[in-house]
Structure 1
Amino acid sequence: MSESNVSSRTSSRRREGAGRKPKKKQQPYGIALLVGVIAFGIYLSTISAKLTLFWILGCCFGVILQKSRFCFTASMRDPYLTGSTSVTRAVLIAFAVTTIGFTAIKYGYYSKGLPIPGQGYVVPISLATAVGALLFGIGMVIAGGCASGTLMRVGEGFTMQILSLIFFVIGSLWGAHDYGWWKLNFMLKGPTVFLPDLFGWFGAVAVQLLLIAGLYILADKWENRNQEQ
């Protein structure tokens, strides 16, 4: 390459750089936002300590989601689109941790003869479960995020996610309004499955962790196979 070509390319790059607008510094906005978060937390503390705790945990979860790019949609979509299963494996690890944690809490209540918390979420499994999961999965892919991912990207300023959030709220309200009819005519027709009733408490944990481990191994092999191709 001749020196004239190099100099012409260098000068053209300089002209392009000169034509660009300098990026605005975002540090002042970040500092102002942090001050606002702290001030609002102090205000909530005058109302209820629980509200303050929820506010702090919500902000922390938001930062973790934004930095980790943790998203249930990505965990199911990325293996097919990019071959990456890093988010998939992160979700599986989260499932394993929560399996142990929630089982410990439930078993603690059970061992003391107290009502087991969260049993209202043990609902019948039927064709409606599969159809609902399929529709929700399609909606997540089209919207580009699950509920947590949508909220996180709204905070980042994504216009598409703001639109998704609006219709997410509308759909949730509509679903809550008609939930009783769907439950009576479709959901209650299937069997209710609670793993500790089938395998015992420790057996249920073992079965679920083995299933998660199997999925983790498959996800790891899937990514390695795509990298080799």
Structure 2
Amino acid sequence: MEQPQASLKSRVHTVTAKPSVKKKNQLGYGIALLAAIILFGVFLSNIKAPLAIRWMLGIALGFVLQRSRFCFTAATRDPFLTGSTSLLRAVLIAIMIATVGFAAIQYNAFSAGKPVPGNISPVGIHTIIGGIIFGIGAVIAGGCASGTLMRVGEAYIMNMIALVFFIAGSALGAYHFGWWKANVIKNAPSIFLPNVLGWPLAFFGQLVLLFALYWLALWWDYRKAE
């Protein structure tokens, strides 16, 4: 007795796997680029030694940014877009470390009776307006200044276009900065927390707030797994 024919849905089709494309070895390009970086550093050192130091620091920071995919815009965007807070927690840790370092330098100057180093900028409506404009532009462009520069190095066309408008917007802002300074920034208060709360409360209060934000971000990241 013949078995009934299998339906089309139950038939097993043999799929011929496409041969994998062999990746091109780019070691030669890497060696050539490293040689060019070193030669340019030597050229800068002959002009002025600090230029070579800044060049090497810039290369090192760019490498770290590229490998870590670090971006301040992604740090505040990803918790709402993808639910991930890994970059946000990294930013919070960086701010904690910076808080300890800057507080040590500033308090050392304060205790010695010297002017407290640092640029204490006025905070006002201009801060909110600038933050909103920058935030909208950064989300549309897909990155902040550091993220845009990092992706330009990776030859992302969109970020190259964003960099052009980033420069144009900065030039426009610099052109109108005099008006903002005279009419808005001049009347805005400059708030230095140690002067308002005292050094101990300002320092430890900021660290406690940052730790609280870190644990909140950690809870947000793993809340679905509970």
Give the partner amino acid of 1:189.
N
Structure 1 residue 106 and structure 2 residue 130: aligned? no
**Equivalent residues of 1:71, 1:148 under 8 A apart:** yes
1:95 aligns with 2:95: yes
> Larger helix proportion, structure 1 or 2?
1
Q: Shift of the alpha carbon at 1:110?
A: 2.3
Counterpart secondary structure, 1:46: helix
Please name the residue that 2:67 is paired with: 67
How far 1:5 sits from its partner (Å)?
5.1
Cα deviation, 1:73-111, whole Å, max 9, x if unaligned, reads 111111011111000000000000011111112222222
CA contact (8 A) 1:83 1:226 kept: no
Unaligned runs of 5+ in 1: none
User: Counterparts of 1:115-154 in structure 2 under 5 Å?
Assistant: 115-119=115-119, 122-154=120-152
How many residue pairs get aligned? The number is: 216
SS at match of 1:17: coil
What is the aligned-residue RMSD (CA, Å)?
1.7
Distance in 1 separating the partners of 2:108 and 2:37: 36
Identical aligned pairs, as a percentage? Answer: 50
TM-score w.r.t. the length of structure 2 is 0.89
TM superposition shift of 1:203: 2.2
Q: Cα deviations across residues 153-211 of structure 1 (Å, max 9, x unaligned)? A: 11111111111111101111111111110122122333210011012223211111111
C-alpha separation between the residues in 2 aligned to 1:113 and 1:72?
36
Corresponding position of 1:57: 57
Q: For 1:68 and 1:183, locate their aligned partners in 2 and report how far apart those are by CA, in whole Å.
A: 37
The equivalences for 1:1-229 within 5 A come to 8-9=14-15, 12-13=16-17, 16-17=18-19, 22-119=22-119, 122-228=120-226
Shift in Å at residue 117 of structure 1? 2.2
Please tell me whether the aligned partners of residues 143 and 161 of structure 1 are also in contact (alpha carbons under 8 angstroms). yes
Alignment deviations for residues 128-168 of structure 1 (CA, whole Å, 9 cap, x no partner): 21222122111111110000011111111111111111110
